[in-house]
Structure 1
């Protein structure tokens, strides 16, 4: 899964642009070449993280590799923040730290971690399409908390659930493990809870600082869970393939640092509604890369269900733009 500074999936702050209402662009604001370049990075790099995860877990255990990824990325981001803005930029209150830790556990351990575990048994493209329904869960959570999304958003929710129903067919028919499908659905729900919570909790004012603490908290928790699961037993680092190491390095540098920096810059330099389009471009990129690189089958449930989910997400995001 990508999120700002995380995967999603995933990679964390600012959280879930699909939950925000876009402010209208300032008069005369032009979409520059730099904006399109940053948008391209977010589209391609975040979309490719599902492929990267699938390659990593070919020879590395899921939670230990995920923990190593986010601990490394969190330390690197914290070092960059201290270098560029001074060590004081990393200071937070106890409440802010607690909030960042909670959000990190929800997004990274729950959201991203379960996706990594699921990708040991299901195709990366299917995982990406199931995660694409995060805006659907976000709308429902916002409604439960008293927000009133528009009718278009609820139409997108209905479309999204219809698409999810189609996407579960491979699991129900035995083509893939249903357990993997259910893990991703739970991961998407936890990711949504974390995204909504991050907008309501007293988070660090600096989004890069918040993301560093979230990644460290989630990474340490993933590492601990991997040890509890016994993933270290029989682990021979010498037997890990070169492509798994390369994919892990790619996820740390590009998935967790480069794409997040591009996204954070986009939020300051372009309309939020434009940045939010990653929500329905990433899964398309992930499906195409899975088919091209790993020869993952493009079955009718994946194509049809994916198209329905992306359509629902598109409707939700477009509704948020007009809000």
Structure 2
């Protein structure tokens, strides 16, 4: 994910920043359970494709109404590349993993993404600090523990899917910073969602996915929640944090979301998470916290 350096940080957090922080913690932490409920009627790639197309259209229309210009052709091409990686691969395979693995365990695995992005940045000679290296090592140990738990060991397809999701999301995040920049502001996010949504629908068609008809009410409610809260509110709240909060605080969702998702999965969906898997998730989160604390700037 992008980070920015704040030249004159405020001593306190404004209500706007606090609200955005709550959105990235609670809303993003709950979206993984919503994905599982939407899967009742919406197959994975179709679910994600229609979700991001709807959110992208709403956001693009809103930005055009406010006077924003359309992205240039090169920026649309960049949006296609980044959307294919982060949304087509990242979110499509996340939903695929949730067909056979609990939502709490999926998001615990996803916590490794900051570690992967730090590793990928090595190709651009962005060298980690000593504390970052410790965090990456601890996080990797936690992921290896998580893979040995009953959830992933019982579902090789789920493990493969979430591994692909993490790699493609991390790669897309780094390339969006280094090689394929999006249009500035929210219009860039809108173009990414539109392009990624098209890729997801194409993959859905190639896979021959079929939506359950009529869809179940809880699946419709979950899909609407993902469009409004997960895509529109969550992404825009994160953009505000990047601009107005210290980078460590802005990216704190990466170690809060797994806790929220695991608790919601157990409390609402009745998912079973063993004590070993809780411990493994804890090791991953410690690694992420060390990585963020050791990050320069």
TM-score bucket of the superposed structures, by smaller chain: over 0.9
Matched, 1:237 2:213: yes
SS of 2:178's partner is coil
Shift of 1:182: 1.9
In structure 2, the residue matched to 1:3 is none
Cα distance in 2 for partners of 1:29, 1:142 equals 31
After superposition, residues 201-240 of structure 1 pair within 5 angstroms as 201-232=179-210, 235-238=211-214, 240=215
Equivalent residues of 1:115, 1:127 under 8 A apart: yes
Give the paired residue count: 297
2:97 to 96, 112, 118: 118
Cα distance in 2 for partners of 1:171, 1:183 equals 16
In structure 2, the residue matched to 1:5 is none
Equivalent residues of 1:169, 1:301 under 8 A apart: no
Query: Is there any run of 5+ residues in structure 1 with no aligned partner, and where?
Result: 1-15
TM-score when normalising by structure 1: 0.87
After superposition, residues 281-320 of structure 1 pair within 5 angstroms as 281-320=256-295
Shift of 1:42: 1.1
Matched, 1:102 2:81: yes
Cα distance in 1 for partners of 2:265, 2:99 equals 14
Cα distance in 1 for partners of 2:190, 2:133 equals 34
Equivalent residues of 2:176, 2:182 under 8 A apart: no
Cα distance in 2 for partners of 1:110, 1:288 equals 26
Equivalent residues of 2:6, 2:244 under 8 A apart: no
Shift of 1:205: 4.0
In structure 2, the residue matched to 1:148 is 127
Shift of 1:237: 1.8
Q: Deviations over 1:196-251 (max 9, x none)?
A: 0000125244231111111111111111111111113xx4421x211010000000
Shift of 1:300: 2.2
Shift of 1:187: 0.8
Cα distance in 2 for partners of 1:301, 1:113 equals 28
Shift of 1:297: 1.0
State the superposition RMSD in angstroms: 1.7
1:247 to 219, 222, 226: 222
TM-score when normalising by structure 2: 0.95
Query: Is there any run of 5+ residues in structure 2 with no aligned partner, and where?
Result: none
Equivalent residues of 1:24, 1:271 under 8 A apart: no
Q: Deviations over 1:17-64 (max 9, x none)?
A: 4xx3643543x5421233212211110000111101011112221111
SS of 1:90's partner is coil
After superposition, residues 56-95 of structure 1 pair within 5 angstroms as 56-84=38-66, 86=67, 89-95=68-74
Equivalent residues of 2:25, 2:256 under 8 A apart: yes
In structure 1, the residue matched to 2:170 is 192
